[in-house]
Amino acid sequence: MPETIFSKIIRREIAADIVYEDEVCLAFNDVAPQAPVHILVIPREPFEDATQADATTLGHVMEVAARLGREKCPGGFRLVANTGADGGQSVPHLHIHVLGGRALGWPPG
């Protein structure tokens, strides 16, 4: 895996507004939010994307993302996992976007 900004956040080499962490994952507010609530949930292990992660880690990261969405956005939220360049993935480290705090349009992008 290449070194990414997320690796540096995990090691605390780059500051982030961390809202949750445990032994498997870390969640922090996005620095360029696309909605009033925009949290990124990343596994500590550097899987490139959702297709590379084991089921246990992916399930845990999704469960944490859903819990944060429920807590921060009682009116509803969206969970997004971009995969590959055509899917809009800009950092090659699995991450789940938790988006909410307003009505979200469809289709996205």
**7, 24, 26, 31, 57 from 51: Cα distances, Å:** 19, 17, 19, 25, 12
C-alpha closest to that of 44 among 16, 10, 67: 10
Tell me which of 38, 60, 93, 95 is the catalytic residue: 95
Report CA torsion sign: 92, 98, 101, 102: positive
Please say if 38 is a catalytic residue.
no
Catalytic site positions: 95
